[in-house]
Structure 1
Amino acid sequence: MARKDAFPSVICAVTNARPVLAERLREISDVLAGTYRFYEIIIVDNASTDGTYALAETLLKSVKNVQYCLLSGRVGESAAVAAGLDRAIGDCIVTMDLLADPPELLPRMIGELREGCEIVYALPGGRLRGANIYDRTARLFLRSVARFNAVNVPEAMSSYRAFTRAVLNFILDSQNFHRTLPLAPAFSGYPYTSIEYERRPEARGSGRVGIGAVLRALDILFSSSVRPLRLVTILAVGMSLFSILYAIYVVLTKIFVENVAPGWTTISLQISVFFLVTSVVIAVMSEYLLQVLEISNRRAPFHLRREMHSSVMDYEQDLNVHAAGENLPRRVSQTVSLFSGGLSSDSLQKDNKSAS
Structure 2
Amino acid sequence: MEKTELSIATILHNEEANVVELHRRLSTVLKTLNKTHEIILVDDGSTDRTLDKLKTLRQKDRSIKIISLSRNFGIEAAATAALDHTSGEMVVLMDGDLQDAPEFIPSLLNKIGQGYDVVYAQHPKRKDTLVKQALFGSFYRLMDKLADYKFPVDVGHFSVMRRPVVDVLTQMTERNRFIAGLRAWVGFKQTGILYEKQARFAGKPPQTFKKLLKMGFDALFSFSYIPLRVATLMGLLVAIGTIIVIINVLYQKFVVNTAIIGWAGPMLSILIIGGVQLFILGIIGEYLARIYDEVKRRPYYIVSEKIGF
TM-score using structure 2 length = 0.90
Q: Secondary structure at the match of 1:115?
A: coil
Q: Distance in 2 between matches of 1:43 and 1:109?
A: 20
Q: Secondary structure at the match of 1:112?
A: helix
Q: Distance in 2 between matches of 1:198 and 1:138?
A: 14
Change (3 A) 1:181 1:201: closer
Where structure 2 has 5 or more consecutive residues not aligned to the other structure, the ranges are: none
Where structure 1 has 5 or more consecutive residues not aligned to the other structure, the ranges are: 310-338, 340-356
For 2:20, the equivalent position in structure 1 comes to 22
Which residue of 152, 155, 162 corresponds with 1:154? 152
For 1:47, the equivalent position in structure 2 comes to 45
Structure with greater helix percent: 1
For 2:227, the equivalent position in structure 1 comes to 228
Number of residue pairs matched? 305
Q: Is the 8 A contact 1:6 1:36 kept in 2?
A: no
Change (3 A) 1:254 1:208: farther
For 1:135, the equivalent position in structure 2 comes to 133
1:278 aligns with 2:277: yes
Q: Distance in 1 between matches of 2:176 and 2:214?
A: 15
Q: Using the aligned pairs only, state the percent identity.
A: 25
Which residue of 87, 90, 94 corresponds with 1:89? 87
Q: Is the 8 A contact 2:148 2:224 kept in 1?
A: no
**Offset of residue 278 of structure 1:** 0.8
1:74-127, CA deviations, whole angstroms, 9 ceiling, x for partnerless residues? 111111111111111111111112211111111221222222111111123523
Q: Secondary structure at the match of 2:180?
A: coil
**Offset of residue 207 of structure 1:** 11
**Offset of residue 32 of structure 1:** 1.5
1:195 aligns with 2:193: yes
Q: Which residue identity lines up with residue 236 of structure 2 in the other structure? A: V
Q: Is the 8 A contact 1:109 1:162 kept in 2?
A: yes
**Offset of residue 307 of structure 1:** 0.8
**Offset of residue 209 of structure 1:** 7.0
Q: Secondary structure at the match of 1:300?
A: coil
Q: Which residue identity lines up with residue 143 of structure 1 in the other structure? A: R
1:6-64, CA deviations, whole angstroms, 9 ceiling, x for partnerless residues? 71211111111112211211221231133133111111101111121122221101013
**Offset of residue 261 of structure 1:** 4.7
CA RMSD of aligned residues (A): 2.5
Q: Distance in 2 between matches of 1:236 and 1:185?
A: 34
Change (3 A) 1:36 1:184: farther
**Offset of residue 208 of structure 1:** 5.7
Q: Distance in 2 between matches of 1:297 and 1:260?
A: 56
Q: Which residue identity lines up with residue 72 of structure 1 in the other structure? A: S
Q: Is the 8 A contact 2:13 2:206 kept in 1?
A: no
Q: Is the 8 A contact 1:179 1:220 kept in 2?
A: yes
Q: Is the 8 A contact 1:82 1:178 kept in 2?
A: no
Q: Is the 8 A contact 2:175 2:293 kept in 1?
A: no
Q: Distance in 1 between matches of 2:39 and 2:151?
A: 26
| Greater alpha carbon shift after TM alignment, 268-277 vs 146-155 | 146-155
Which residue of 60, 63, 86 corresponds with 1:62? 60
